[in-house]
Amino acid sequence: MKKTLLTALLSTPFLLFAQQPVKELNVPNQYEVKTSADNIKAIDIAIPAEHAPGKSTTIKYKKDKNFSAVKLADTYYDLQTNASPGRRIVLHADGTVSAVWTASPDDASGYPNRGSGYNHFDGGSWLTGREERIEGSTRTGWPSIMLLDDGREMIMSHESNTGGFTMTSNNAVGSTTFTSTAARLDDETELNVDRVPIWNRSVATNGKIHTISNYWASEAAGIAVVTRNGVNSPTTYSRWDVASDQSDVEHILLPGYDSTLYEAGGGDSYAIDARGNTVAILIGGLGDPVSLWKSTDNGVSWTYTDVDNFPFKGPRRDEELTLSGDTIYTNDGSLDVMIDASGNVHAFYGRGRVVGGLSDAGDTSFFFFPAQTSLMHWTEGDAEPKICGSPFDRNGDGTYDVTTETFQSLDANGNVPTGLLSASRTGATSLVTMPSASTDADGNLFVVYSVPVEGAVHFLNSNYRDIMVSYSTDGGATWNGPQNITQDGRVESNFPCVAKDANDFLHLVWQEDATPGTFLQNHSASAGSHPNDICAMMYAAIPVSDILNDVLGNDVITSVDQLKKDAEVFVVSQNQPNPFSGSSEVIIYLRDASPLTLTVTDMLGNVLNTGDLGTMNAGNHSINIDATNLSSGMYFYTISSEYNSVTKRMQVK
């Protein structure tokens, strides 16, 4: 049977719908949302009077921040996850911090130099020059960082060509001397059948490394789909013993994980946490149940809990959805799980929504609505999940306005859908997505997440994203939020991840991109909608007292009018090809006519050449960089208009 996953009402972009009534989250005007396009189809849900707009609290617009962000490194690889953020940052007992990400120092086709980026804060400063991967010659990605009992840091990442996981460790926290293993847990079989387990999430506790992962399959590459317990590409569990440097179990299925729950697994639609001997694994997926497996004996035995009571499970899901004729809330595949100091498990996920489609003898399908605006929380003892995060109504008109481009993706041919200027959705995730949770010594709970900001619109009509935070002081019974951490409005802040433990600060890493979306998922070659520009991996330590006192608020640095004015200046692409010899081309976009200059400098800042490009009219222009007189090496080029300038790095062969 062929299964097709479709975006609901794809031919007619549609309206974000109102939220179900939940009292726990103190959010202004959370129940009425819309987009700005005139041709949007509305799906309305009745709102009880006690939750009607006008009864909610007042938005805080304070924007003074008692913290500053630090750039950890640059990277050309701009897709840090397909859905769930993972474990990318750790707070050590002495207050130092280590962070990892998927890095690439260049934009060469296929990113052959891709791997794990690493940086460390020693209490005074972060390391510099961290653009290169730590694994040497092995192409890896999707790293998880953990602290071993012997004081070493372990970074576990997937080997993306043949499958399995590279374990890279140093001798002590903060050391930049790393030793990498060959791929382990690669699931080789006696039949020599190719299996490619990748997309790991890993955590260490009490001498064990616990890993969950999924299988990649490709008919074109001859990599067959792995099917176990009736589940295609299942999510599996592995446990590694650090002392013996051997596995205890490899790629087993958790008890009860079979086709009664899931038809297929999904890359990055899972999360893992550990504290002492307690290990928690959360598995979801768009149109699938949210399932929790918990172990209190360091991964030997497990108990199962149905978190969200999703009624349609396994292969029967699509047909039953179709027969039901109703839209159903589910998860969007972005999840996080956290164990608090009492051993209680907390589950977080972006809420999705699906509906059954038309089916015939050879095809079943379900549709999903990507414009969902709720983050969900559940903890042990809860009868059902509750809303813990949402966007905010920035202009106070009672609605949350975003553009259709913000929640659409490219079509099956890799083109921007008709009538749109861009498409910037990450995978099949919702508008409010990618939760990452933390807790402090007082038992306060925090969750950060990614949200498009109303009024902060790129010139290709997608809303920029910022990183929000919600908090709970009563174990998750009630939530307060959102507050805007990044508050920029002129840059995409996405893929947030916080350290599981907070001290006086919430320790956060994320990626900044000049364009909403990613090059890897949202670039249309015909439309030029997302150039392969360099991105920045960022870090901030946010005072917990500011969050608990609602100091951050929800404003952004500039007003909506100023945002539009800034967007009218220009956008500069990365030069292509790069590296290059002879000449290379740069594409710029001008909203208004402006005089331009091109300046080339070396790594020391010495000006090697300055050229007057004259006044160029609004629109796209191609600028040629001549490097015939430059020796091999790294340089910078700066293109300046009357009011702004953009500097990018280039490499001459």
- Asked whether residue 486 is domain-assigned, the answer is no
Range of the domain at 590: 568-652
Q: If 0-12 CB within 10 Å is exposed, 13-18 middle and 19+ buried, where does residue 177 land?
A: exposed
Q: Cβ contacts of residue 249 below 8 Å, gap of 6+? A: 237, 238, 239
Q: Tell me, yes or no, whether 590 lies in a domain.
A: yes
Smallest CA-to-CA distance from 433 within 537, 336, 515 is with 336
CA–CA gap between residue 562 and residue 370 (Å, rounded): 29
CATH of the domain at 572: 2.60.40.2550
> Number of structural domains, the chain?
1
Contact 539, 507 (CB under 8 A): yes
Q: What is the 3-state secondary structure (H, E, C) of 539-608?
A: EEEEEHHHHHCCCCCCCCCCCHHHHHHHHCCEEECCCECCCECCEEEEEEEECCCEEEEEEEEECCCCEE
State the amino acid at position 587 in one-letter form. I
Let me know if residue 576 belongs to a domain: yes
* Per-residue pLDDT at 52: 32
The confidence score (pLDDT) of residue 31 equals 38
Low-confidence ranges of the chain (pLDDT < 70): 1-65, 188-193, 358-364, 557-571, 591, 619, 643
Which token pair is 370?
């990507």
611 found inside a domain:
yes
In a domain, 72, yes or no: no
Asked if residue 232 is part of any domain, the answer here is: no
Burial grade of 152 (CB within 10 A; 0-12, 13-18, 19 or more)? middle
The pTM of the whole model exceeds 0.85 = no
pLDDT at 371: 87
371 lies in some domain: no
Report the alpha-carbon distance of residue 254 to residue 252 in Å, rounded.
6
CA separation for the pair 637, 16 (Å, rounded): 42
Helix, strand, coil shares, percent, the chain, to 5: 5, 45, 50
pLDDT of residue 57: 39
Tokens of 59: 């938005």
Tell me how far CA of residue 473 lies from CA of 119, 246, 441, 446, 544, in angstroms.
32, 41, 12, 9, 12
d(CA 263, CA 270): 15
Helix (H) or strand (E) holding 210: strand 208-216
| Residues in contact with 405: Cβ distance below 8 Å, sequence separation at least 6, in sequence order | 420, 421, 422, 423, 424, 460, 461, 462, 463, 516
C-alpha torsion angle, residues 214, 72, 467, 448 (rounded to 10): 60
Q: Which amino acid type is present at position 553?
A: G
Residue 632 lies in a domain: yes
Residue bearing tokens 């700066």: 638
